[in-house]
Structure 1
Amino acid sequence: MGMVDTPGEGRGRKAGKRKNRRIGFRLDMTPMVDVAFLLLTFFMLTTTFSKSNTMEINIPPERGEVKVAGSNILTLRIPGDGMAYCSLGDLRPKRIPLYEEEDDSRLSLSGELRSLLRQQTTVNSKLVIVVKIGEKARYKQLVDIIDELNLMKIDRFSLDDYTPQDDLEIRKAV
């Protein structure tokens, strides 16, 4: 600490020196630490509770092909034109609208498609639903269909490639 010398006083003399009192200064860091830990806790909890939106898909083991009777297969074709084409076995596909508008102008799967899936699965407990999505179809359509199958607790479904043969089947639709 620097001192100011007054005239007439010697340097080494202690007599006559007036000792300056230093005013104490103390910074309380407690509120800042409290805020830091509060923010740290907030960010830790919010990142822990946010879960990623993933869908669990179980892939069967590679044992070869599984034989299923043709009458137990419901093929659901989605070419991307806003319609779904459902056919049971080798029957002609039935044309059903994929979406319907709800009250607040949101789209949801059509009630006709839901009722057809529910009816067919209650009639035949061995039914396997094969979903085929065309190149022009949107990924959201596939996710909506899989979500609807999960909501209806239908766990016997399969995803398959959309082929030119499927386009020919769609042209035969009723």
Structure 2
Amino acid sequence: MAELNTGGDGGKGKKVRSKKSNPGVDLTAMVDLAFLLITFFMLTTTLSKPQAMPLPMPDKNPENQPKEITKIPEERMMTILIGEDNKIMWYMGQFATPKVPPTEASFGKNSIRKDLLKNVQLGKKYAEREGKPKEGLVVNIKASDKATYKNLVDILDEMAITQPQLYAIGDITPGELDLLVQSGLYTKK
């Protein structure tokens, strides 16, 4: 039992008086109440949830893989190359014969986001002309070995904002790496 004792030194060296009992305060109920409140607030409050971005990954089971390869028209295919020092480049179509030539961009709403939104609309228009209104832009993100984790997260944030039909993270090819070197977006050691 928890007790609060408020007594003095017992009155040594003074006149003898009648003994008075010291008042005691029982704190058991207050301790119980404190633990009940702590428990209540621990169970009812939500702790901060980890901020994670969902990244869909392909199924590794070969039985669940598609039997045929889906061809994506070049007008709906956009590739984003991430270089060093927060620099990026994008092109439409295949690397050897791009529909839109490689264009340098930067992160932010006035550069890559504007380009993405424009290409999302163009991809939707192309798909509607082809009679496939549910299809749209497909973005392939390729990061160099000097790209930072922050740059990859930033471009994934842009995908969440602009909402292309599909996006994937792929490996950068040697030809694309040479393009980044020629453009000054990547330096070889």
Instruction: Give 1:120's aligned residue.
Output: 119
Partner of residue 49 from structure 2, selected from 34, 51, 57: 51
Asked if the contact 1:93/1:170 (under 8 Å) is kept, the reply is no
Structure 2 SS opposite 1:150 = helix
RMSD over aligned Cα, in angstroms?
2.7
SS at match of 1:93: strand
In 2: Cα distance, 1:41 partner to 1:127 partner: 49
Counterpart pick for 1:81 among 59, 82, 85: 85
One-letter code aligned to 1:124: G
Report the residue type matching 1:94 in the other structure: T
List alignment gaps of at least 5 residues for structure 1.
Answer: 1-21, 99-108
Correspondence for 1:105: none
Query: TM-score normalised to the size of structure 2?
Result: 0.65
Letter in 1 for 2:123: N
Normalization by structure 1: what TM-score? Answer: 0.70
The reply on whether 1:134 has 2:144 as its aligned counterpart is: yes
Deviation at 1:34, TM superposition (A): 1.1
Tell me the alpha carbon deviations over residues 25-78 of structure 1, each in whole angstroms, 9 at most, x when there is no partner: 6624111111112122222334x3421212222234422643212232111000
Superposed displacement of residue 123, structure 1 = 1.2
- Identity percentage of aligned residues: 23
**Which position in structure 1 is the counterpart of 2:66?**
63
Match of 2:157 among 147, 155, 164: 147
Deviation at residue 172 of structure 1 after TM alignment: 5.5
State the aligned residue count. 144
CA deviations 1:70-128 (Å, max 9, x no partner) are 23211100022321101011333111123xxxxxxxxxx25121111000111112321
1:95 — aligned with what?
104
Cα distance in 1 for residues equivalent to 2:149 and 2:44: 32
Distance 2:51 2:86 in 1: 25
Matched-pair contact (CA < 8 Å) for 1:93–1:173: no
**Unpaired runs of at least 5, structure 2:** 1-20, 60-64, 125-135, 185-189
